[in-house]
Amino acid sequence: MSTVLHIESSPRKIRSRSIKVARVFLQEYTKYHPSDEIVTLDIWDTVLPEVNGDTLDSKYAILHGKEKTVKQIEAWGAVERVISHFLDADKYIFSLPMWNFGIPYKLKHFFDVIIQPGYTFSFSPEEGYKGLVKSKHACVICARGGSYTSEDGSQELDVQQKYMNLILGFIGITDVRPIIIQPTLAGDPEQLEQVLKLAEEEARTIAREF
Ligand SMILES: Cc1cc2nc3c(=O)[nH]c(=O)nc-3n(C[C@H](O)[C@H](O)[C@H](O)COP(=O)(O)O)c2cc1C
């Protein structure tokens, strides 16, 4: 039995296109993997530790191979709980809106918490950086108001998908299947219906063999 963690990153809930497509994905996934567990992490409904003070000092203590103080160990516990919840999963679904060409700040906060030396990546002068999240894969469902395509060069502006590939690859998740929902705002209602239909079809196809 596998555990699938759905990291839901839009605050728009029933109006969210990325959540809508993620739900279609998970519905199909459940048909084909009935005994797997689906866990949802709503990033807007989760209190994440601030990455400052004793928490940040803990990170630097780890990086510099120093002992943590009692207060740092206490603060670090909150980070470890978020990381272990993340690492408990075998597969990941990220659904996210594009915000200002990138990802929403709440999702960035989540990555700033879980991407830690010795937990999700390692560094040594001999080997450089190595991702520690091995043998796991992800589906990344990106919604955006406009369209970002290679034909007109606007793909250059898409930091959302680029960042997701970069950051997941950094921690070792290199098998990343993308689903792009675009444009969600720029077209007429018929065009939006067509965009959603295509994305949902893609989601069902990927879900079957995910
Ligand atoms: C704060 C904010 C910033 C946004 N920035 C962009 C942007 O840079 N490019 C774009 O194409 N759409 C942008 N949008 C539109 C959203 O990407 C679009 O509405 C998308 O469907 C949101 O995903 P969701 O439906 O899952 O919430 C932005 C929306 C908000 C609220």
| Residue 97 pLDDT | 98
Query: Measured from the CB, is residue 170 less than 6 Å from ligand 1?
Result: no
Q: Whose CA is nearest to atom 17 of ligand 1?
A: 144
Which structure tokens are listed for 68? 């943590």
| Residue 187 pLDDT | 83
The model's pTM: 0.97
Distance (Å, rounded) from C-alpha 61 to C-alpha 79?
A: 14
| Residue 147 pLDDT | 96
pLDDT in tens, 47-103: 999 999 999 999 999 999 999 999 999 999 999 999 999 999 999 999 999 999 999
Of ligand 1's atoms, which has the minimum distance to the CA of residue 147? 11
Contact 128, 117 (CB under 8 A): no
Query: Measured from the CB, is residue 12 less than 6 Å from ligand 1?
Result: yes
| Domain 3-208 indexed as CATH 3.40.50.360 | yes
Low-confidence ranges of the chain (pLDDT < 50): none
Task: Write the CA distances from 50 to 54, 94, 99, 126, integer angstroms.
Answer: 10, 22, 21, 32
Query: Measured from the CB, is residue 185 less than 6 Å from ligand 1?
Result: yes
Q: Whose CA is nearest to atom 4 of ligand 1?
A: 99
